Amino acid sequence: MLDSKRCQGVSRETCPKERKQASPLTVAELVKLHTIVDEAKDVWDAVFAGAALLCCYCRGRWGDLMRSESAFLDTDEKGDPAFVETRTGRHKTMSSQMHRHQFLPMVAPVKGVHGGEWSTPWIKHRQELGLTFPPCGLIMPAPDREGAATQRPLESGECGKWLRRLLGAEDAVGANAERRISSHSLKCTMLSFAAKRGLSIPDRLMLGYHSSQMHMAMVYSRDGAAASLLLLEKLIDEISKGIFRPESTRSGRLVEQMTDASGPQNAEVKIETVLSSEEEESDKAVESESSDSTSESDSSESVVPKDHSFNRVFAPPRPPTGYDRWQHSKLKTVHLTAPGYCKVFVCGRPVGSFHCRVDEDPRFDSPICWACFNKASVE
């Protein structure tokens, strides 16, 4: 009786429990870390706050960052700091096909949400303590009781305790705490901001260094993080200017501050569609060219043209005449059978008990057996 699946199902606990996840940091908490780096009262606090900002802006796990094999400061043509980049060979996704046999580059922009640059004062504080970057040193060594740097990196649990102390959130660790601040909060902060800003899932996967089906594209790109870093820089810039407010509700996260000749105004107008500067200039050019025409443009005209790819509806491919569609009840994969066949698919796989014949179009996101469709189109 104890092995009965029915008894196990009835006796199983049905009370749902919410998943416990680390809470992302707020913009105010990030600004507080920037203030600690800029106005250091304790050098070790400033060094740790800079390492926390590096972990946050590079969207990396604290443990992966502590195992960095190398680190360097990337400067622009003028010699000004632009990025802080670290490379690690031992990370969570190192066994995946996408990241195999290569170091994982974790890159952080030096411009923060406070609108300033944080790498220069952080490196200065590190030099005061005589700290060096990998491979000769560590990103964040653990200090001893006398305040000297040790040869071991700061552990994730120690990072969480130090972070909560600096942010004044020591009580945010209990079971009934509203927010759970830990070392993993540093990784999820920018990824949470990106999701609230509406960045696509592939871009967020790239920002989080997660493995995906884009292995071949990553192999030949040579710099696969370039596009996602541009989006991250724009996201941070919008937060620093007050255009994007991640802590607001869904209806008030995106705002635009209106200014005129007399100076900035306090009123904030919600914007429905964000246009880039190039799109605004092109719109003005079109308006100036059409000013001589007698017809007036409709103010309610959509910003996205009718032939834009955003307006396309992607439907699953249709089989040739006479072919039947079959769909797996669990995997939802769509196969084809040739006319007169009902036991073997066109791709050669046998029709199983989980396959059902479908007459209507499946969902647009249903996986397709392209071996069946390609062979059917050739025949």
Instruction: Indicate if 34 and 139 belong to the same structural domain.
Output: yes
- Which of 159-173, 217-231, 276-290 has the highest mean predicted lDDT (pLDDT)? 159-173
Which has more confidence, 16 or 350? 350
Does residue 291 form part of some domain?
no
- 222 with 344, same domain: the answer is no
Beta bridge partners of 254: 244
**Lookup: tokens for 200:** 């696509």
Distance CA 69, CA 134 (A): 6
Identify whether the C-beta of residue 335 lies closer than 8 Å to the C-beta of residue 366: no
CA-based nearest residue to 105, from 155, 68, 62, 138: 68
Among residues 215, 236, 257, the one where a domain terminates is: 236
- How far is it, in rounded angstroms, from Cα 317 to Cα 290? 42
Q: Which of 236, 256, 286 is the last residue of a domain?
A: 236
Cα–Cα distance between 327 and 344 in angstroms, integer? Answer: 13
Report the distance separating Cα 1 and Cα 11, nearest Å: 12
The enclosing domain of 93 has a CATH number of 1.10.443.10
Q: How far apart are CA 62 and CA 47, in angstroms?
A: 15
Model confidence pLDDT, tens digit, residues 224-249:
678 889 999 999 999 999 999 999 98
What rounded mean pLDDT belongs to the chain? 79
Same domain, 202 and 338: no
Q: Is 289 among the domain residues?
A: no
Residue 288 lies in a domain: no
Q: Specify if 349 maps to a domain.
A: yes
Tell me, yes or no, whether 31 and 167 share the same domain: yes
Based on the fold, state whether residues 209 and 358 are members of the same structural domain. no
- Assigned domain for 311 exists: no
State the pLDDT at residue 23. 93
pLDDT, position 309: 46
Long-range contact set of residues 321-329: C-beta below 8 Å, sequence gap at least 24: 323/376, 324/357, 325/357, 325/358, 325/359, 325/362, 326/351, 326/355, 326/356, 326/357, 326/358, 327/355, 327/356, 327/358, 327/362, 327/366, 328/352, 328/354, 328/355, 329/354, 329/355, 329/356
Residue at 51 is within a domain: yes
Give dist(CA 171, CA 149) in Å, integer.
Answer: 28
Q: Average the pLDDT over 57-68 and give the result.
A: 92
Paired tokens of 91: 């990370």
Confidence of residue 377 (pLDDT cuts 50, 70, 90): confident
Domain total for the chain? Answer: 2
Beta strands in 280-344 (DSSP E): 324-328, 334-337
Selected residue with higher pLDDT from 168 and 217: 168
Boundary of a domain, candidates 206, 236, 266: 236
Is 145 within a domain?
Answer: yes
Q: Can you tell me the distance from the alpha carbon of 196 to that of 209, in angstroms, rounded to the nearest whole number?
A: 19
Q: Which residues does residue 226 pair with via DSSP β-bridges, in sequence order? A: none
Does 66 fall in a domain?
yes
What is the span of the domain harbouring residue 118?
27-236
